[in-house]
Chain A
Amino acid sequence: MAVGIEKPPVGLSRVAISQTHGENSPYFAGWKAYDENPYDEIKNPSGVIQMGLAENQVSFDLIEEYLKQHPETSTGGDHNSNFRENALFQDYHGLPSFRKALASFMGQIRVGRAKFDPDRVVLTAGATAANELLTFILADPGDALLIPTPYYPGFDRDLRWRTGVKIVPIHCNSSNNFQVTRQALEEAYNSAKAMNVRVRGVLITNPSNPLGATVQRQVLEDILDFVTKKNIHLVSDEIYSGSTFSSSEFVSVAEILEARNYREAERVHIVYSLSKDLGLPGFRVGTIYSYNDKVMTTARRMSSFSLVSSQTQQLLATMLSDKKFTENYIRTNRERLRKRYDMIIEGLKKAGIECLKGNAGLFCWMNLGPFLDKPTRESELVLWSSIVHEVKLNISPGCSCHCSEPGWFRVCFANMSEQTLEVALKRIHDFIKKQR
């Protein structure tokens, strides 16, 4: 029989075949280990405990309680016109009542030190979409954003994959608690220039992921001065702003702008979301708050690709407008997160492990440097592998966050019960004892 000539298969795009999604990186290998053998208090007590997912489950009961007491919120009301309007509502301006509630919530988190105009709130289906969208708007393919290391591993995918934009790291180290310095900013900018790459902006996460610490006021001022000098943008991802253990320790770039009378505000854009502070990542609610009209208008139109469900907007509008609820939630959430943080720090200390002094977020930045064979990335990955496969804890290695110092690990503590956290701490304790 004649052998047929194989037709070339129909091709896919470069984006489709690119590896920029990063799902084959070691960071995700830990997730795989968890998926294959997930810990369960009763059914699988020797399974892998997920400490690599920054999810906030400590205050969910408050939301559950609210929904139980206000059942009409979830269906958007049975009223005739209400339902019809809601079902048909796909205006990318977003539900006015929801924007108002969200703007007010953001102000509450900053304890009134900054005010947000509901008309500037642009809604997106999650902060992932918000960050990508801003990147599309602020930079052309081949341009770069400067990001302080260590940073959230997802940025490599979210900011670069479809946009074609590069990330140039601003190197930070433990000598000053990984704070961004003026020198580091200049060095990053110059290294981009040397590569013939145009820098379009600086992107910071405040409070920081993975550090679990707020950015100091002076550092924010320095960064703002820097971007002004270079005439570039500043994106401040404040997704963890409601998860600071004490409300007074967080300084938002919004406050600094207000203090400066909004001079140079046109280059500043804030990203926020309800995924962390409210523990509702499944709802897919994110926002871009830009002080630049052109960016705001464009973002709004571009949000067509990533709109928030009108039903969800309706549900949350009611909940977030309830000032009593939000105040209680924010305060309780902070307390519980602090309690968790103290618990894990204490537990790690007992095992002889130090962490970076943190004051926010759903994780701590743990230093296993002293336990490395050699101060290298390879050593870190070897240690990490034994923690995932022998100790059965999925934690995130610093190299996946582009940390220039080996030995640091991000450990999440808010996505589990206290009992599970105890189990995890005991496992670490035993592991370290064996190492000695």
Chain B
Amino acid sequence: MTQTPVSDYEDDKTRRPSSPSSRGGGTTAMRVIVPLQGVVQGRGGLILGSIIPCALFYFLQLYLKRNRSKSPSPPSSSSAENLPEVSVLHRSASRSFLSPRSSTGPAYVSSRANLIVKSGDSPYYVGLKKVNEDPYDKFANSDGVIQLGLAENNLTLDLVRDWLSENARDSIVGGDLSISGFATYQPFDGLMELKVAVAGFMSQVMNNSVSFNPSQMVLTAGATPAIETLSFCLADPGNAFLVPSPYYPGFDRDVKWRAGVELIPVPCRSADNFGLSITALDRAFTQAKKRGLKVRGMIISNPSNPVGNLLSKDMLYSLVDFAREKNIHIISDEIFAGSTHGNEEFVSMAEIIDTEDFDRNRVHIVYGLSKDLSLPGFRVGVIYSFNENVVDAARKLARFSSISAPTQRLLIPMLSDTRFIERFIRTNRERLRKMYTEFVTGLEQLGIKCAKSSGGFYCWADMSGLIRSYSEKGELELWDKLLNIAKINVTPGSACHCIEPGWFRCCFTTLTENDIPVVMERIRKISETCKSHS
């Protein structure tokens, strides 16, 4: 997932509960008209039966319009919220744009574009900006903002760097410098050699418990387009995917923005350690149906972001059963599969799906090299699907987000070096475990507990004890204090659509061991001021 320093999760405005008023008008009116026409039978019944409902409908719309204009929500949130509504709003607003005028009357820009330009300062974006402006440096800027908001892994980059400096000389230059080698048009969905290498890598990363077939793979420029491409393939605009919350804020952009697919959060609770339950899924599915939304699939992250949970084999089976019952797809985002640090073993969807399985057509896996191999800049993502038609469509769509050929050439030998990969995975896990343990222990000593997690680059910390009012507002106040006074950038739970306030995602993989005490000290100071208030 593109965690660019200034990429903004604009659509996290959608954490506000979806206002039904915009949709409610039409459907409630219909519920009034039909029975009414039945009641008003007899003489003149047809006419009365038509006029009365129409009149009611008219007055209902009038009433709703009046009420909506009274609502205090700022324009930016409402525009991000009511996706279909926006295009209506902007069609009429755009008339002013269309009138021929001087250079001050700009030509129309689509509703999609307007959506993004309006939404501005989400906490995520603000935090990253602060870090960029005033980055912590142990020697040069010890008062700067410490970055705990970016899920990037710096812990084991040295191994990759060393491998490249020892082996890369021949990768581009001297070796295969033939023009057809890397300059000419290549298959848009990636070189077969790279697919083979990636299949092998994925297998290694997942403890060799499953093998991947390169011909079921489509390579994309990062996992971000992988998710978007699948969204385009599995659902039509206006359809929806279920997604357990809290979830990675980037999904709002990847799924909704251009593909126009809605995301329906399936809330998970701290009481269950934020574990997923089929009951909750089912409830969300039913509620969506009532709202008139067609659910086409679910997106699960395993290991999850921001919590770091792993899904058990049983749960995976249950999810497939659920998907079969509702006849929907499963997108399994397994991008952190190799970044486990706990004692639980990671199980991929690929492990439980057979090539003979009827259900295989509904399972699609997303992977990439940004997390497990620490190479987000190189842009390598994977769509792995058991559904031939999806692979076919995704392959054709890959032209819009292809991986650069020289980068592919560079990675083939590295991923194929199984001994290096084995050493890398092992070392990475060790370092992750160490940092995780130290960080979580540090927080515990401050009285801040973290959810139990087995993977990812972060811990999910419960700081609700430090917030003044147990609400999103209170959470954001604390976030602000942490950012501007303590000067640490963490991601507030509300940005991840968490229903329980006070949870924060803290990434520790951009730190060194020596930074941890500094972080803890800063949090301690803040927690003292917070406690003294309550």
Binding site for B on A (CB under 8 A): 7-17, 21, 23, 53, 55, 57, 60, 63-64, 67-68, 71, 74-75, 78, 80, 83-84, 86-93, 125-126, 128-129, 132, 136-141, 143, 158, 161-162, 200-201, 227, 229-233, 263-264, 266-267, 279-285, 292, 294-295, 297-298, 301-302, 304-312, 315
Contact = CB atoms under 8 A, between A and B. Distances in A.
B377 A311 contact: yes
B129 to A, nearest CB: 12
Given A71-B174, A292-B106, A307 B390 contact: no
Closest 7 CB pairs of A and B: A310-B377, A282-B405, A74-B172, A309-B404, A16-B393, A89-B377, A309-B407
Contact of B184 (A57, A161, A266, A304): A57
A284 B174 contact: no
Contact of A90 (B234, B328, B370): B370
Contact of B183 (A8, A132, A280): A280
Contact of B173 (A67, A93, A281): A67
B157 A305 contact: no
A208 to B, nearest CB: 21
Contact of A67 (B177, B225, B393): B177
24 contacts: A7-B327, A10-B327, A12-B234, A12-B393, A13-B232, A14-B236, A16-B233, A84-B161, A87-B160, A87-B374, A91-B5, A92-B4, A92-B6, A137-B110, A140-B87, A140-B111, A143-B110, A158-B400, A267-B107, A304-B224, A305-B221, A305-B228, A311-B407, A315-B406
B525 interface: no
B231 to A, nearest CB: 8
A281 B399 CA distance: 12
A203 to B, nearest CB: 13
Given A74-B406, A90-B379, A307-B221, A55 B177 contact: no
B107 A125 contact: no
A284 B370 contact: no
Contacts of A9: 361
Nearest to A67: B173
Interface in B151-187: 152, 154, 157, 160-161, 164-165, 168-169, 171-174, 177, 179, 182-186
Nearest to A305: B225
B377 A90 contact: yes
A21 B182 CA distance: 25
Given A7-B327, A80-B161, A162 B397 contact: yes
Contacts of B116: 298, 301-302
A117 B445 CA distance: 52
B401 interface: yes
B390 A295 contact: no
B113 A294 contact: yes
Given A10-B362, A86-B377, A298-B117, A125 B171 contact: no
A13 to B, nearest CB: 5
B473 interface: no
Nearest to A307: B379
Contacts of A68: 173-174, 177
B107 to A, nearest CB: 4
Contacts of A80: 161
B396 A298 contact: no
Contacts, number: 274
Given A13-B236, A16-B234, 10 more contacts: A67-B177, A83-B165, A84-B154, A126-B399, A143-B110, A301-B7, A305-B258, A306-B401, A311-B406, A315-B172
B161 A231 contact: no
A128 B179 contact: no
Nearest to B107: A267
Interface of B: 2-8, 10, 87, 97-101, 103, 105-113, 116-117, 152, 154, 157, 160-161, 164-165, 168-169, 171-174, 177, 179, 182-186, 221-222, 224-225, 228, 232-237, 239, 253-254, 257-259, 296, 327-329, 358, 361-362, 370, 374-379, 387, 389-390, 393, 396-397, 399-407, 410
A93 B406 contact: no
A92 B259 CA distance: 20
B110 A23 contact: no
Given A10-B329, A91-B6, A284-B405, A279 B177 contact: no
Given A64-B179, A88-B377, A92-B4, A23 B404 contact: no
A425 to B, nearest CB: 23
Contacts of B376: 87-90
B183 A264 contact: no
Contacts of B98: 231
A137 B106 CA distance: 14
A18 to B, nearest CB: 9
Given A301-B7, A302-B258, A231 B233 contact: no
B492 to A, nearest CB: 21
A60 B161 contact: no
Contacts of A84: 154, 157, 161
Residue among B100, B110, B177 with the highest chain A CB neighbour number at 10 A: B110
Contacts of B397: 161-162
Contacts of A17: 389, 393
A283 B172 CA distance: 12
Nearest to A304: B2
A87 B328 contact: no
Contact of A306 (B171, B225, B361): B225
Contacts of B296: 11, 13
A75 B168 CA distance: 7
B320 to A, nearest CB: 12
A233 B107 contact: yes
Contact of B182 (A15, A158, A229, A282): A282
B113 A295 contact: yes
A21 B400 CA distance: 12
Given A8-B327, A84-B154, A294-B109, A53 B2 contact: no
A308 B396 contact: no
A140 B112 contact: yes
A263 B103 contact: yes
B157 A87 contact: yes
Contact of A55 (B173, B185, B253, B361): B185
